[in-house]
Structure 1
């Protein structure tokens, strides 16, 4: 949403914040996989650029791994020493506790208007935006071109075609015809992609929730989706030797890069991983029940600003700089992620340069992507329950209806606790 409110609206592009000797503390997540490409280098370069134009403001950045960053911020907040800015995985708990600035209190109208609308909408808690999207990704179906050629098959567009392709791959001895990672690492992602692909346009909803944001995990369509997975993929031995509930995304990606997987849902990081190993792969939109899935799963990480120390003016000015087109593009290109602004997305979409072109299939999915219900403070508990239990829905003797109903009960309880 674009708001005409907020003192930062007149600050976009200013060279001075009208204040001096202010230090802003930013805690950020590390998107790199080595010291050579740590996010610290990105932030150091950006901060040097900003501080050279704003001599009265210093930006103190601490970068932590994704394993630690959310806990680090929570510890700081709990100790009464909240950072000014945090770039982490979730914002809703802090918004609900009244600890965050609204986006409209910080950002210029131009910056607010540039965010992709579905990402801005996902940053809302109780219809007000507190979470500012920072990086995004979507999912597509990756397939091994070499294995597909040997099996004489083409990429699927429907579930029936996917099952037929998987059967042909199995006949050729492929270890994982379709890799189905429903293990505790990231089962909530694979689950949501399948829920979305099983939802038709008429019934609406966005996987875990309905059109008004109420959990409907055990809807008949979702039960039908997991019944199909259990009976037509897992039950026919088309997902490989590992029980899906014990098979993690990282293991599935490694197996794909090792040439052992025919196809799987993947995000942009798999491009580099598979390319390094010399795997010849293609990418197509995720198949749906009767045609290409009406929506892909989107994921966004978040920037947020804490009110504890004040400094709204300086925070807003810095964030307007962070979200300048050149800076958004620099980050997205460095880490193979999708831009969160329309201006940077348009540049990337029009570019045929290698790093940009590789992301085009994911960019194509972004306008119709659906995100986790991150604006609900209950989502953390629901996500944890899905990671722990969804694999049982496709296990031998498992009941999709029973498992999804159990998860729905968890979600309903978590939601009512948050509302009380």
Structure 2
């Protein structure tokens, strides 16, 4: 038996050390060693392209047996997915973090299993904020949080004005976040938001 699996690549490309293909090869090798009668054919697709390519597969009646992606609710409504209860034992389901498992549900029924989660943080370039006349402080002189201070309210109102004026990223949903981080590391972007990881840069920056 051969099962077709399609997975998203979270790495830096097919030849990178953190490439998704390398991760899944190790997983598949272990699975096939324990289940010699089952072969897994894995296709790893760039995260930016996977939803469109999977949609094309479905249209061409080439539906994968296993899909690792963030988009599934539409497939559930079309009756293309197994329910989690049909393929995963109660013991395994009990090991899942409840909050994450909830995100795999559509209309109260679980169709997806949590695979990965990441924390988000906002970074800012202290040099750029200082040059703009703002030290970037989120705390007052006593060390207490001052998010709702008049200065910060004024700042957020100003930022909203930048958005309304079209001076920020116009389509953040389609923006390549790798390029954003490269621009941040080069000192071209003042405040990106993303995974809580350390950008490679010798410039002063702070994570909040």
Could you state the TM-score of these two structures normalised by the residue count of structure 2? 0.77
Write the mapping of 1:8-407 to structure 2, written as runs, cut at 5 A: 22-34=1-13, 35-36=15-16, 37-145=18-126, 152-155=135-138, 157=145, 159-161=147-149, 164=152, 231-235=157-161, 243-244=167-168, 246=170, 248=172, 250=177, 252-268=180-196, 271-272=197-198, 274=199, 276-284=200-208
1:144 deviates by 3.0
1:112 deviates by 1.2
Contact 1:163 1:232 in 2 (8 A): no
CA distance in 1, matches of 2:20, 2:84: 24
1:165 deviates by 9.8
Structure 1, unmatched stretches of 5+, are 1-21, 168-228, 285-420
CA distance in 2, matches of 1:244, 1:153: 18
CA distance in 1, matches of 2:158, 2:33: 60
Structure 2, unmatched stretches of 5+, are 140-144
Question: In the TM superposition, what whole-angstrom CA distance separates every residue of 1:202-249 from its partner, at most 9, and x where no partner exists?
Answer: xxxxxxxxxxxxxxxxxxxxxxxxxxx5x44343x6x7x961262645
Contact 1:31 1:38 in 2 (8 A): yes
CA distance in 2, matches of 1:55, 1:87: 22
Q: Superposition RMSD on alpha carbons, in Å?
A: 3.0
Secondary structure of the corresponding residue to residue 32 of structure 1: coil
Could you state the TM-score of these two structures normalised by the residue count of structure 1? 0.41
Question: In the TM superposition, what whole-angstrom CA distance separates every residue of 1:277-331 from its partner, at most 9, and x where no partner exists?
Answer: 22343322xxxxxxxxxxxxxxxxxxxxxxxxxxxxxxxxxxxxxxxxxxxxxxx
Secondary structure of the corresponding residue to residue 116 of structure 2: strand
Question: In the TM superposition, what whole-angstrom CA distance separates every residue of 1:241-266 from its partner, at most 9, and x where no partner exists?
Answer: 96126264536434322224443432
1:159 deviates by 4.2
Contact 2:126 2:136 in 1 (8 A): no
1:63 deviates by 0.9
CA distance in 1, matches of 2:57, 2:86: 23
Contact 1:145 1:281 in 2 (8 A): yes
Contact 1:24 1:59 in 2 (8 A): yes
Secondary structure of the corresponding residue to residue 114 of structure 2: strand
1:162–1:27: structure 2 CA closer, same or farther, 3 Å change rule? farther
